[in-house]
Amino acid sequence: MAGKIGLSAVLSTIIVFTIILGAVITVSLYSNMVLFSQQGEGEFKAAESTMVAFAMNVEDAAWNVGATRSIDFNPKFGYLQVVEDAYEYVISINGNNFLSVKTDVAMFRMPIRRYTRGNHYHSTLYPLMNRSFITLGAADPTVRVVSVEELDYADTLDVALLPRVKILRSQYTTPEGVKESTRVMMISFYYDRSFVRGSSRYLIANCTTTNTSIITGNNLHVVISVHPLNLPSEYLDFNPMSYSFNTDILVVHVAYIKIVVW
């Protein structure tokens, strides 16, 4: 009888110990998951701020050939990447193609196992509340920064740098009357292909060249449109996707900026 009581006490102790151990393991795993997510969230929020700062630096260097800007991400969980031929701008005049400009897109990517904000998440970080690929103000930025999670495209939460088109319009007087002049300013990123996934921390932009095209006429009908290539339209989230106007002189400036991930 005493042996049975002793055995029962031992079994009870083992059961209680097993329950306690299981609870400790569960709490430990949950705590690690929370810490895991918080670390990813902190790094991604820092990357958002860093990308906005980099966009401002790119804007400053865009029209100065030879100018270089860089910024340090120092990622631990995410990584830097460039999507080549992400989308294309097409300018047509009176129904005929005049100029096509492709651009790459630089982005910081966080695997969703580290941090997620939910599928179809979109947020414009810079400039705020502006989803257009066209900007009409002289002081408006030519680069847009967005945070995107589109799981049909990639299993990452991204913060991306999207070049835009700036349109500046003016009038001038001639013996025939008042005429319209329009300047179109575009940035095209291109990647130097030195990226090695997961090992790089610096994003560098270098303005290598600029190009200017001019066409004159009488009441030219100009349409500028954006066409997704290696990034889907849902990812870009541009609204609208085309813009049209009439002008007598069209001057198009394109700044080509080499993107280095190092």
Alpha-carbon gap, residue 116 to 155, rounded angstroms:
9
Average pLDDT of span 249-261? 96
Could you tell me where the DSSP H helices lie in the chain? 2-61, 233-236
- pLDDT for the residue numbered 34: 47
CA of residue 140 relative to chain centroid, distance: 17
- pLDDT for the residue numbered 223: 98
Q: How confident is the model at residue 211 (pLDDT cuts 50, 70, 90)?
A: very high
Residue 189 has pLDDT above 90, yes or no: yes
pTM of the model: 0.84
Q: Read off the pLDDT of residues 150-175 as tens digits, 9 standing for 90 and up.
A: 999 999 999 999 999 999 999 999 99
Q: Are 100 and 85 in contact (CB under 8 A)?
A: no
Q: How confident is the model at residue 1 (pLDDT cuts 50, 70, 90)?
A: low
Query: What are the boundaries of each domain within the chain?
Result: 2-261
Q: Read off the pLDDT of residues 10-67 as tens digits, 9 standing for 90 and up.
A: 556 666 656 665 544 554 444 444 445 578 999 999 999 999 999 999 988 998 999 9
Structure tokens, 46: 């820092």
Residues with Cβ within 8 Å of residue 209, at least 6 apart in sequence: 65, 255, 256
Q: Read off the pLDDT of residues 57-116 as tens digits, 9 standing for 90 and up.
A: 998 899 899 999 999 998 999 999 999 999 999 999 999 999 999 999 999 999 999 999
Across the chain, what does the average pLDDT equal?
88
CA dihedral 105, 120, 224, 172 (to 10 degrees): -90
- pLDDT for the residue numbered 176: 87
- pLDDT for the residue numbered 32: 46
- pLDDT for the residue numbered 35: 44
